[in-house]
């Protein structure tokens, strides 16, 4: 069996294409594992195939990456519009990063009068590989009614819903066919010396030879051949499938690409009610038997792709589902003893949309933690953390749509309703002037008393220098065994300053004090140190600090201008951008942005770049905030703590 992944932007016709391909020669078997990932098994000319269909949208790139890694080939399904090329850029980039041989299918050619060369040119702006036409359209009164194969030079007239009809090449198509064929042959001759010699000597190469060269070039992942048609009308589908059958690598070649001794690859994983974890596996090196050792432990039960009917083994190259095998996951390569994580490109974009999740019902708190851990096992675009202040779960996701999908899954699959809220920025505060202060802690209750007297000086430090404690007490005014307690009290006071946030970059010096031979204790001096520093902070010119992040936005270069406007609107500082050296047509845009603006950036970026961009953020520095904005932030913090 050979496998391929169909990918492309939302609405490009991927699912319709899979249905058309799978129904050419057999009755397909389809397993819709989720609403965004399905498998279809079928035969074509007595050969078994499996198609992985992944929904469009940046939220699903991680699933597409894991499927690509397990595939012998990929089909990039694109709309027939040069202006839509940028929407295809993330999928084109993923296909190239994967190293999986890829063919292009320009869908819905029966609905457009756009020139194919313009469509290809638009896509080429984002492709490192050469996109080379394998067909040119036949037009009648502007409508595409057929195509010419540039290798065989046969012309086919589309017959909606059935196989195309062989016709004589129309005179109107001959000039364009000759031009495009010459480009194809010249391109292929770069990879085959014999073909190059024939072209130099003006010999017409046999079609069989050109087909073999084209197949070899695709198997080596040296180009991206482009085909035309309409999946809904079944135009061009047979030619596309025949090309895959002739050109796509075998499972053995794909296994070599993965590395030595790889027995299986995890393609997709999900949790199902009454079944638990189900992992789609592809057997790579040999048949994979139920009960065999994989990844250092035994496989549980195996089933076909419908996950309903048990099987004793998965044949080499075929796909099946493992259940009761909790040690298995998607996104990993497996030998009998080892479990190896796939390369980073398979996981899609780093999750940058942060959200705080709380259960609607407190009784579900423990269930929520368990459910999120399970989701994180099966969702390559999700990361779960814990908020240090509240203890609540922080989810890092691909964006708002991803959040809605996670919320729906938590309720439907695990019975947990949750509420989402933005993650508060990690504000801090510091002081702006030096202050001397004294505090006496005294309590008397019954026979036992508490006494401690401390004199301190607090002073601002340079940004990033942190907290420092020192003492210059003379004459034993504060016994040395109590000085650590004063420092502990000072650190306690730093946990929350007068503005309601942790205090940073302050030096505290113990200068003097008094002790009582009976009533003094570590507890008393710690309480005195905390109260003294807390009072002093309020007199030392407290100022609010907001965290500012270094943000790198990955964006198609055509949208770089809109990113400048977006960053400026979010009170960010534009640092510039550089062309991405590894991804043609992409820029890496650099900016400094308040951490409080990251949530809005995540929401606005989809509109500014039509869902093609993503970002990474990391702390850079703290910046002072003054005036009404500081007052508002401080008031909100105190209200939350009240």
CB neighbour burial string for 246-275, b if at least 16 within 10 angstroms, e if fewer: ebbbebeebbebbeeebbbbbbbbbbeeee
Query: Is a pLDDT exceeding 80 seen at residue 609?
Result: yes
For 418-449, how does the pLDDT look when each residue is reduced to its tens digit (9 = 90+)?
A: 999 988 899 999 999 999 999 999 997 766 78
For 129-175, how does the pLDDT look when each residue is reduced to its tens digit (9 = 90+)?
A: 999 999 999 999 889 999 999 999 999 999 988 889 999 999 999 99
- Domain C-terminal end among 249, 271, 295: 249
Query: Is a pLDDT exceeding 70 seen at residue 124?
Result: yes
Domain identity same for 139 and 232: yes
Domain count across the chain? 5
Query: Is a pLDDT exceeding 70 seen at residue 274?
Result: no
Q: Is residue 254 part of a domain?
A: no
Query: Is a pLDDT exceeding 80 seen at residue 67?
Result: yes
CATH code for the domain in which residue 316 is found: 2.40.30.10
Tracing tokens 């000759």 back to the chain, one arrives at: 178
State residue 366 phi and psi, 5-degree precision.
Answer: -65, -40
- Looking at residue 69, its pLDDT comes to 94
For 172-216, how does the pLDDT look when each residue is reduced to its tens digit (9 = 90+)?
A: 999 999 999 999 999 999 999 999 999 999 999 999 999 999 999
Domain identity same for 329 and 388: no
- Looking at residue 638, its pLDDT comes to 82
- Looking at residue 565, its pLDDT comes to 94
- Looking at residue 400, its pLDDT comes to 85
| Angle between the N-to-C axes of helices 483-493 and 522-539, in degrees from 0 to 180, rounded to the nearest 10 | 40
- Domain C-terminal end among 301, 322, 346: 346
Strands 37-44 and 47-54: antiparallel
Q: Is residue 320 part of a domain?
A: yes
Using an 8 Å Cβ cutoff, are 17 and 231 in contact? yes
Domain identity same for 474 and 375: no
For 43-55, how does the pLDDT look when each residue is reduced to its tens digit (9 = 90+)?
A: 999 999 999 999 9
For 374-395, how does the pLDDT look when each residue is reduced to its tens digit (9 = 90+)?
A: 999 999 999 999 887 777 889 9
Rounded percentage of the chain residues whose pLDDT exceeds 70? 99
**CA dihedral sign, ordered 328, 330, 335, 339:** negative
Mean pLDDT score, 254-281: 88
Domain identity same for 72 and 138: yes
Rounded percentage of the chain residues whose pLDDT exceeds 90? 84
Mean pLDDT score, 48-67: 94
- Looking at residue 447, its pLDDT comes to 65
- Looking at residue 100, its pLDDT comes to 96
Mean pLDDT score, 337-346: 89
Domain identity same for 231 and 289: no
- Domain C-terminal end among 214, 249, 284: 249
Q: Is residue 618 part of a domain?
A: yes
State residue 481 phi and psi, 5-degree precision.
Answer: -70, -15
For the ranges 413-422, 489-498, 527-536, 543-552, which has the lowest average pLDDT? 413-422
Closest CA to 558 of 583, 588, 587: 587
- Looking at residue 404, its pLDDT comes to 92
Query: Is a pLDDT exceeding 80 seen at residue 307?
Result: no
CATH code for the domain in which residue 395 is found: 3.30.70.870
Residue 642's pLDDT band (boundaries 50, 70, 90)?
low
Helix, coil or strand: residue 52: strand
The residue range of the domain holding 397 is 355-422
Average confidence score pLDDT of the chain: 94
Q: Is residue 153 part of a domain?
A: yes
Domain identity same for 528 and 451: yes
Helix, coil or strand: residue 549: strand
Domain identity same for 554 and 530: no
Domain identity same for 92 and 110: yes
Using an 8 Å Cβ cutoff, are 288 and 331 in contact? no
- Looking at residue 259, its pLDDT comes to 78
- Looking at residue 391, its pLDDT comes to 77
What is the 8-class DSSP label of residue 111?
Answer: G
Strand partners for 279: 269, 322
Domain identity same for 285 and 372: no
Higher pLDDT among residues 612 and 308, named by residue:
612
The residues, ordered by sequence, that sit 6+ positions from 282 with a Cβ below 8 Å of its Cβ are 3, 70, 264, 265, 267, 314, 317, 318, 319
Element containing residue 553 per DSSP (H, E): strand 543-556
Q: Is residue 535 part of a domain?
A: yes
Q: Is residue 6 part of a domain?
A: yes
Using an 8 Å Cβ cutoff, are 490 and 469 in contact? yes
- Looking at residue 448, its pLDDT comes to 75
Q: Is residue 427 part of a domain?
A: no
Mean pLDDT score, 54-58: 91
Residue 260's pLDDT band (boundaries 50, 70, 90)?
confident
Domain identity same for 108 and 211: yes
Domain identity same for 148 and 228: yes
Residue 108's pLDDT band (boundaries 50, 70, 90)?
very high
CATH code for the domain in which residue 465 is found: 3.30.230.10
Query: Is a pLDDT exceeding 70 seen at residue 508?
Result: yes
pTM strictly above 0.75: yes
Residue 483's pLDDT band (boundaries 50, 70, 90)?
very high
Whole-number Cα distances in Å, 83 to 95, 119, 124: 20, 8, 12
For 327-336, how does the pLDDT look when each residue is reduced to its tens digit (9 = 90+)?
A: 999 999 999 9
454: left (phi over 0), alpha (psi -120 to 50) or beta: beta
Domain identity same for 518 and 575: no
CATH code for the domain in which residue 40 is found: 3.40.50.300
**CA dihedral sign, ordered 196, 199, 205, 211:** positive
What does the radius of gyration of the chain's CA atoms come to, in whole angstroms?
Answer: 32
- Looking at residue 542, its pLDDT comes to 97
- Looking at residue 136, its pLDDT comes to 98
């Amino acid at each position: 069996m050979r496998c391929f992944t169909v990918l492309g932007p939302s609405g490009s016709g991927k699912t319709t294409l899979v249905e058309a391909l799978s129904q050419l020669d057999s009755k397909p078997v389809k397993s819709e594992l989720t609403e965004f990932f399905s498998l279809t098994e079928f035969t074509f000319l007595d050969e078994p195939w499996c198609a992985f269909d992944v929904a469009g949208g940046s939220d699903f790139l991680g699933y597409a990456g894991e499927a690509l890694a397990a595939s012998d080939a990929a089909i990039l399904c694109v709309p027939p519009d040069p202006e839509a090329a940028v929407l295809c850029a993330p999928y084109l980039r993923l296909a190239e990063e994967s190293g999986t041989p890829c063919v292009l299918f320009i869908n819905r050619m029966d609905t457009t009068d756009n020139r194919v060369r313009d469509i290809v040119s638009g896509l080429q702006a984002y492709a490192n590989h050469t996109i080379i036409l394998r067909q040119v359209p036949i037009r009648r009164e502007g409508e595409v009614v057929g195509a010419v194969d540039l290798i065989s030079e046969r012309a086919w007239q589309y017959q909606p819903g059935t196989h195309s009809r062989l016709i004589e090449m129309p005179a109107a198509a001959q000039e364009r066919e000759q031009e495009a064929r010459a480009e194809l042959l010249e391109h292929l001759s770069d990879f085959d010396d014999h073909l190059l010699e024939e072209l130099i000597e003006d010999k017409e190469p046999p079609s069989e030879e050109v087909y073999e060269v084209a197949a070899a070039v695709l198997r080596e992942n040296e180009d991206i051949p482009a085909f035309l048609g309409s999946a809904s009308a079944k135009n061009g589908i047979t030619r596309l499938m025949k090309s895959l059958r002739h050109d796509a690598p075998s499972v053995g070649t794909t296994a070599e690409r993965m590395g030595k001794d790889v027995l299986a690859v995890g393609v997709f994983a999900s949790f199902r009610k009454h079944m638990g974890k189900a992992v789609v596996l592809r057997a790579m090196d040999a048949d994979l038997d139920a009960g065999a050792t994989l990844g250092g432990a035994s496989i549980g039960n195996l089933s076909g792709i419908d996950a309903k009917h048990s099987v004793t083994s998965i044949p080499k190259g075929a796909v099946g589902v493992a259940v009761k095998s909790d040690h298995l996951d998607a996104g990993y390569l497996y030998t009998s003893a080892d479990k190896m994580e796939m390369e980073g490109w398979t996981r899609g974009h780093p999750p940058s949309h942060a959200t705080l999740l709380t259960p609607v019902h407190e009784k579900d708190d423990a269930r929520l933690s368990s459910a999120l851990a399970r989701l994180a096992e099966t969702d390559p675009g999700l990361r779960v953390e814990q908020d240090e202040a509240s203890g609540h779960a922080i989810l890092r996701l691909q964006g708002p749509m991803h959040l809605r999908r996670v919320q729906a899954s938590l309720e439907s699959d695990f019975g947990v309703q949750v509420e989402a809220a933005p993650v508060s920025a990690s504000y801090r505060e510091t002081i702006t002037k030096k202050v001397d202060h004294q505090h006496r802690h005294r309590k008397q209750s019954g026979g036992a008393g508490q006494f401690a007297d401390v004199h301190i000086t607090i002073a601002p430090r340079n940004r990033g220098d942190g907290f420092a404690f020192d003492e210059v007490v003379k004459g034993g005014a504060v016994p040395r065994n109590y000085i650590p307690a004063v420092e502990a009290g000072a650190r306690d006071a730093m946990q929350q300053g007068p503005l309601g946030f942790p205090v940073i970059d302050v030096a505290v010096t113990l200068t003097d004090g008094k002790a009582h031979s009976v009533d003094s204790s570590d507890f008393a001096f710690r309480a005195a140190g905390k109260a003294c520093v807390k009072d002093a902070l309020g007199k030392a010119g407290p100022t609010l600090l907001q965290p500012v992040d270094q943000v790198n936005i990955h964006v198609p270069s055509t949208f770089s201008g809109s990113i400048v406007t977006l960053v400026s609107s979010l009170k960010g500082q534009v640092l510039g951008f550089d062309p991405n050296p590894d991804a043609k047509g992409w820029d890496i845009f650099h900016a400094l942005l308040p951490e409080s603006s990251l949530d809005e950036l995540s929401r606005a970026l989809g509109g500014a770049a039509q869902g093609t961009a993503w970002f990474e953020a990391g702390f850079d520095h703290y910046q002072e905030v003054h005036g009404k904005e500081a007052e508002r932030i401080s008031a909100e913090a105190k209200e939350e703590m009240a």
